[in-house]
Amino acid sequence: MSNPIIQFNHVSKKYSQNTAVDDLSFSIDKGEFVTVLGSSGCGKTTTLKMINGLIQPTSGTITIAGKRLSDWDLVDLRRHIGYVVQQIGLFPHMTIADNIAVVPKMLGWEQDKIDQRIQELLELVQLNPAQFANRYPGQLSGGQQQRVGVARALAANPPYILFDEPFGALDALTRIQLQKELKRIHAALADKTFLFVTHDINEALFLGQRVMVMNQGRLEQFDVPAQIVHQPKTQFVKELLGTVRQNHQLWEGDQDD
């Protein structure tokens, strides 16, 4: 039985003559891991930023947890949403523990509760608290910093986590490792809704329980990965899948030589 937690109803976003998002309608259920796939300029990041009110739609309605976005106090809403971006944005002068504790401190948590949460989260992202809590961001690798970014987004136990191409700047091996870790983390967290933007089709199909394919501000297909692979609904989706098949043919050709 579906339990819609994020809903877009005929949502558009226009900038002068440019339409970033065009008549977008979809629902995301509580606890889902949804990936948003598309090339640069397709509207995927705009869609993400409209969910936490960083960008306001030109028309249409957005509903979060049964409440219209226009009726939310945006400060309160953002306290319920974790946000992970490619640049990570850790504070370089603060320890890893202090970076994770930023939002809980803002919310007035007691120190004992904050310390316990830091330990829980470092263990969740598989960074030993005894080794990493008192280090500084500059002492960590890019992959380790991104793990801290995920931990910080989870610190106040928000029901929604938004990811805006968080692994885009990482090397291929680190990226694959973190994809596996993020999938494990989502499975370990009860009822957390993850929305993950990417331009990497393999990443989208691996991570997403459902995949939203966007092109030029419109929704081309929103389906489970197997349906997208075996029953693409539009020419754009077919061409997108063709790039993956082309790479597979390259590898198969190398093996034949």
Report d(CA 135, CA 198) in Å as an integer: 30
Catalogue the E-assigned strands of the chain: 4-15, 18-29, 33-37, 59-64, 67-68, 81-85, 160-164, 193-198, 210-215, 218-223
Bigger pLDDT: 256 vs 232: 232
Confidence of residue 78 (pLDDT cuts 50, 70, 90): confident
Residues forming beta bridges with residue 219, ordered by sequence position:
214
Count of beta carbons in the 10 Å neighbourhood of residue 100: 26
- State residue 242's pLDDT score: 85
Q: CA 148 to CA 71: how far, in whole Å?
A: 32
Cα separation values, 34 from 48, 97, 114, 208, Å: 12, 29, 29, 5
Q: Which residue has the tokens 């944005």?
A: 89
Please state the rounded mean pLDDT for residues 124-132.
Answer: 94
Which of 73-77, 83-87, 104-108, 222-226 is predicted least confidently?
83-87
Q: Which CATH number is 4-222's, of 3.40.50.300, 2.60.40.420, 3.30.420.10, 3.40.30.10? A: 3.40.50.300
**Range name among 2-6, 9-13, 153-157, 193-197 with the lowest pLDDT average:** 2-6
d(CA 83, CA 124): 17
